[in-house]
Chain A
Amino acid sequence: MVLTLFLIITLTFFLVEAQPGDYASFYVLNPDLPPEVKDQIRAAFGLDRPVWQQYLIHLKNTVTGNLGVSFGNYPRPVIDVLAERVPRTLVLFLTATAVSFYIGFFLGKAIAWRRGGLFEYATTISGAVLFTAFTPAFALMMIWVFAFKLGWFPVGKFLDPLVWRGADVSANYVFGNMLLSAGAFIVFALLVMLLLKRFGRAVPSVVALPIVLGGAAVIVAAWAISGIGGLALDIVKHMVLPVATLTLISFAGTMLLTRNSMLETIREDYVMAARAKGLPDKQVRDRHAARNAMLPVVTSLVYSLIFAIDGSVIIESVFSWPGTGLTLLQAVRSEDLPLVMGAILFIGVLSLLAHVVVDVLYVYLDPRIRYQ
Chain B
Amino acid sequence: MRFNRWMALCGLLVALFLLPGCTTEAAPESTPTPVTEATATPQSEVGEVPGATPTAPSEAETEPEGPSGEETEHVYRIGIAADLTTTNHWAYLGPDGTVWNGYVLAESKPSLYGYSAQRNDWIPSLAVDFPTPLKEEVVDGETLWTTEVELIEGVKWSDGNDVTAEDFAFTASTAAEMELTGNWPSIVDPDYFDYAETDGPYHLKIFFKQKPGLARWQFGLAFMPIFSKSYWEPVVTEARQAGDIIEQQKVLFSHVPEGEPSAGGFIFGQWERGAFAEKDRNPDYSFSGSEVALYANGAYSTSTLGLNEFTAYGEPSGEAVLEYVEGPFAASTIYSIYGSQDAAVLALKKGDIDFMLNPVGLSKGLQEQLAGEGGLTTIENASDGVRYLGFNFRRAPLDNRAFRQAVATLIDKEFLVDTVLQGVAIPIYTMVPEGNGAWYNSDVPLIGKGMTRQERVGRAVELLKEAGFTWETEPRVSEDGNFIEQPGEGLTMPNGEPVPAMGLFAPSAGYDPLRSTFAIWIERWLNEVGIPLRANLTGFNVIVEKVFDQQDFDMWILGWGLTPFPDYLESFFHSRHSALEGYNAGGYNNPDFDRLADGLLSETDLEAARQQVFEMQAFLAEDLPYVVLFDTPIVETYRSERIEYPYTDTWGGLQSVAGMPSLVDFR
Whether both chains belong to one complex is answered with yes
Taking a contact as CB atoms under 8 Å apart, the answer to whether B542 and A163 are in contact is no
Partner-binding segment picked from A19-27, A54-62, A346-354: A19-27
Interface string of B309-350 (1 = CB under 8 A from A): 000000000000000000000001010111110110011011
If A162-B62, A193-B1, A294-B3 touch, whether A156 touches B347 (CB-CB below 8 Å) is: yes
A16 to chain B, nearest CB (A): 12
Taking a contact as CB atoms under 8 Å apart, the answer to whether A31 and B568 are in contact is yes
Name the interface residues of A209-238: CB closer than 8 Å to any CB of B. Answer: 209, 212-213, 216, 219-220, 223-234, 236-237
Q: Which residue of B lies closest to A209 (CB)?
A: B8
Bound: A287/B545 CA distance, A: 63
Contact of B29 among A32, A227, A294 (CB under 8 A): A227
If A30-B186, A166-B54 touch, whether A156 touches B17 (CB-CB below 8 Å) is: no
Contact of A35 among B5, B29, B581 (CB under 8 A): B581
Name the interface residues of B65-123: CB closer than 8 Å to any CB of A. Answer: 75, 77, 82-83, 85-86, 91, 95-97
Taking a contact as CB atoms under 8 Å apart, the answer to whether A212 and B12 are in contact is yes
Contact of A233 among B9, B21, B91, B253 (CB under 8 A): B21
B139 near A: Cβ within 8 Å? no
Interface string of B247-269 (1 = CB under 8 A from A): 00110011000000000000001
Chain A interface extent, by class: 35 or more
A178 near B: Cβ within 8 Å? yes
B495 near A: Cβ within 8 Å? no
B246 near A: Cβ within 8 Å? yes
Taking a contact as CB atoms under 8 Å apart, the answer to whether B75 and A236 are in contact is no
B63 to chain A, nearest CB (A): 9
Taking a contact as CB atoms under 8 Å apart, the answer to whether A182 and B16 are in contact is yes
Bound: A330/B337 CA distance, A: 15
Interface string of A277-308 (1 = CB under 8 A from B): 00000000011001100100000000000000
B111 to chain A, nearest CB (A): 16
Partner-binding segment picked from B145-153, B274-282, B477-485: B274-282
Residues on A with C-beta less than 8 A from B644 are none
If A155-B346, A171-B275, A322-B83 touch, whether A189 touches B54 (CB-CB below 8 Å) is: no
Residues on A with C-beta less than 8 A from B96 are 73-74
Taking a contact as CB atoms under 8 Å apart, the answer to whether B339 and A317 are in contact is yes
If A30-B186, A43-B246, A156-B347 touch, whether A236 touches B10 (CB-CB below 8 Å) is: no
If A31-B571, A320-B337 touch, whether A189 touches B29 (CB-CB below 8 Å) is: no
Partner-binding segment picked from B154-162, B175-183, B518-526: B175-183
B583 to chain A, nearest CB (A): 4
Residues on B with C-beta less than 8 A from A154 are 352
Residues on B with C-beta less than 8 A from A140 are 342
Residues on A with C-beta less than 8 A from B29 are 167-168, 227-228
B185 near A: Cβ within 8 Å? yes
Contact of A163 among B62, B182, B186, B539 (CB under 8 A): B62
Taking a contact as CB atoms under 8 Å apart, the answer to whether B343 and A320 are in contact is yes
Q: Which residue of A lies closest to B56 (CB)?
A: A230
Residues on B with C-beta less than 8 A from A30 are 97, 183, 186
Name the interface residues of B556-593: CB closer than 8 Å to any CB of A. Answer: 560-561, 567-568, 571-572, 579, 581-583
Residues on A with C-beta less than 8 A from B539 are 20
A171 to chain B, nearest CB (A): 5
Contact of A41 among B2, B85, B91, B95 (CB under 8 A): B95
A270 near B: Cβ within 8 Å? no
Name the interface residues of B512-571: CB closer than 8 Å to any CB of A. Answer: 539, 541-542, 544-546, 548-549, 560-561, 567-568, 571
Contact of A287 among B2, B91, B339 (CB under 8 A): B2
B511 to chain A, nearest CB (A): 12
Residues on B with C-beta less than 8 A from A224 are 20, 23-24, 26
Q: Which residue of A lies closest to B85 (CB)?
A: A73
Contact of B85 among A38, A72, A230, A232 (CB under 8 A): A72
A77 to chain B, nearest CB (A): 9
Q: Which residue of B lies closest to A98 (CB)?
A: B10
Taking a contact as CB atoms under 8 Å apart, the answer to whether A159 and B21 are in contact is no
Contact of B272 among A32, A159, A326 (CB under 8 A): A159
Taking a contact as CB atoms under 8 Å apart, the answer to whether A165 and B338 are in contact is no
If A182-B13, A224-B26 touch, whether A164 touches B253 (CB-CB below 8 Å) is: no
Residues on B with C-beta less than 8 A from A151 are 350
Taking a contact as CB atoms under 8 Å apart, the answer to whether A216 and B85 are in contact is no
If A165-B61, A320-B338, A326-B339 touch, whether A41 touches B3 (CB-CB below 8 Å) is: no
Name the interface residues of A115-148: CB closer than 8 Å to any CB of B. Answer: 140, 143-144, 147-148
Residues on A with C-beta less than 8 A from B77 are 161
Taking a contact as CB atoms under 8 Å apart, the answer to whether B8 and A232 are in contact is no
Contact of B9 among A32, A35, A186 (CB under 8 A): A186
Number of interface residues of B (CB under 8 A): 100
Taking a contact as CB atoms under 8 Å apart, the answer to whether B571 and A88 are in contact is no
Taking a contact as CB atoms under 8 Å apart, the answer to whether A185 and B272 are in contact is no
Taking a contact as CB atoms under 8 Å apart, the answer to whether A168 and B54 are in contact is yes
B501 near A: Cβ within 8 Å? no
Name the interface residues of A162-185: CB closer than 8 Å to any CB of B. Answer: 162-168, 170-172, 178, 181-182, 185
Residues on B with C-beta less than 8 A from A223 are 19-20, 23
Q: Which residue of B lies closest to A32 (CB)?
A: B186
Q: Which residue of A lies closest to B571 (CB)?
A: A31
Bound: A287/B1 CA distance, A: 10
Bound: A76/B273 CA distance, A: 13
Residues on B with C-beta less than 8 A from A76 are 85, 254
A106 near B: Cβ within 8 Å? yes
Residues on B with C-beta less than 8 A from A316 are 339
Taking a contact as CB atoms under 8 Å apart, the answer to whether B54 and A161 are in contact is no
B250 to chain A, nearest CB (A): 4
If A163-B57, A165-B61, A322-B339 touch, whether A106 touches B7 (CB-CB below 8 Å) is: yes
Bound: A234/B58 CA distance, A: 12
A274 near B: Cβ within 8 Å? no
Bound: A295/B419 CA distance, A: 62
B237 near A: Cβ within 8 Å? no
If A31-B571, A161-B278 touch, whether A38 touches B581 (CB-CB below 8 Å) is: yes
B198 near A: Cβ within 8 Å? no
B372 near A: Cβ within 8 Å? no
B4 near A: Cβ within 8 Å? yes
Residues on B with C-beta less than 8 A from A182 are 13, 16-17
Bound: A207/B540 CA distance, A: 64
A37 near B: Cβ within 8 Å? yes
Taking a contact as CB atoms under 8 Å apart, the answer to whether B339 and A321 are in contact is yes
B385 to chain A, nearest CB (A): 11
Residues on A with C-beta less than 8 A from B278 are 161, 165
A261 to chain B, nearest CB (A): 12
Contact of B5 among A27, A171, A208, A230 (CB under 8 A): A208
B510 near A: Cβ within 8 Å? no
B52 near A: Cβ within 8 Å? yes
A93 near B: Cβ within 8 Å? no
Taking a contact as CB atoms under 8 Å apart, the answer to whether A98 and B350 are in contact is no
Q: Which residue of B lies closest to A226 (CB)?
A: B27
Bound: A167/B579 CA distance, A: 53
Interface string of B29-55 (1 = CB under 8 A from A): 110010000000000000010001111
Taking a contact as CB atoms under 8 Å apart, the answer to whether B343 and A318 are in contact is yes
Bound: A34/B270 CA distance, A: 35
Residues on A with C-beta less than 8 A from B56 are 163, 167, 227-228, 230-231
A197 near B: Cβ within 8 Å? yes
Could you name 24 residue pairs across A and B whose Cβ atoms are closer than 8 Å? Answer: A19-B541, A21-B545, A28-B548, A28-B549, A31-B571, A32-B567, A101-B10, A144-B346, A159-B275, A161-B336, A162-B62, A167-B270, A170-B273, A178-B17, A182-B17, A189-B9, A189-B12, A212-B8, A227-B30, A233-B21, A286-B4, A290-B3, A318-B339, A320-B337
In order of increasing CB-CB distance, the 7 nearest A-B pairs are: A227-B27, A322-B274, A32-B186, A233-B21, A31-B571, A320-B339, A224-B23
A165-B55, A168-B54 given; 18 more Cβ-contact pairs under 8 Å: A41-B95, A74-B96, A75-B250, A88-B274, A102-B10, A155-B346, A159-B272, A162-B62, A164-B275, A216-B19, A227-B26, A227-B56, A230-B56, A287-B2, A294-B3, A319-B339, A320-B343, A322-B83
